[in-house]
Amino acid sequence: MKIGIFDSGVGALSVYREVRKAFPKVDIDYFGDTLRMPYGSKTPEEIQKFTLEIGTYLVKEGAEALIIACNTATAYGLKALEEAFPEIPVYGMIEPGARLAVKRTKNKKIGLLATKGTVNSGAYDKALQKQNFDGKLCKVGAGLLAPIVEEGFGDHPGTKKFLETYLKPFTKEDTLILGCTHFPVLEEFIKEIMPEVVLINPAFGVVEEIKNKMENKGKGQTQFKISGDIQNFSAVASKILGEKISVEFVEKVIL
């Protein structure tokens, strides 16, 4: 069994980590589109194009299932990818994240911290409505956070100051959706700023969704493929995963 997981960069590593824990034997092709990140500032048409390009590449490489480990790409590209490959299961971040948030909130006030692209898409609003959520959603587009994580500054003290500014509007919410796969890297800082708030990592919702739909079979191999700088990806990925990701195991692919 081979799964294709992709994102605009290192964000999908937060998803990869949870999928790998749940499926230690499956083979995984990881694609980080670091050359064209961040996706949050791109047009819907560009994002859909990128999503189809990467999905097509991963299917050609043998992926039997696809995980769009990017909320913005899920918002604008999931439907197109499903239509392009009706025979292959395609999973996104948004519905699993919304499902978890509705389960966890007690006061029916949910916060969403995401890219501007995801916020503007209204995809989380629709996903929450699908869960019959009748509370309030407070949304904040945090355009600077994904590039900060991408450059390896997710644990820098200065990053906490950016977070404090972005998190100010969340005053009554008891649950916060980390609506960008780069943001779980910032989880410790967010907990320090908002210790009483339940943080929702959609990756856990994705694993919950696929655990009874996929077989844990394969060689347990991972191939990392990126479109940008290998050295930077290797360094940041090693920091996020807590294990050395040698440049020899990262392949550069231009689509």
By annotation, the residues acting in catalysis are 70, 180
- Cis preceding linkage at 86, omega within 30: no
Cα dihedral 61, 62, 66, 69 in deg (nearest 10): -40
Q: Give the β-pairing of 27-32 and 198-200.
A: unpaired
Q: What are the φ and ψ backbone dihedral angles of 227, each rounded to 5 degrees?
A: -105, -5
Count of CB atoms situated within 10 Å of the CB of 166: 19
Beta strand extents in the chain (DSSP E only): 2-7, 27-32, 65-68, 90-91, 109-114, 136-141, 175-179, 198-200, 222-226, 250-252
The token duo for 205 is 């919702």
Query: What is the rounded distance in angstroms from the CA atom of residue 54 to the CA atom of residue 7?
Result: 9
The token duo for 173 is 């919410």
With CA atoms as reference, report the closest residue to 31 among 226, 230, 172.
226
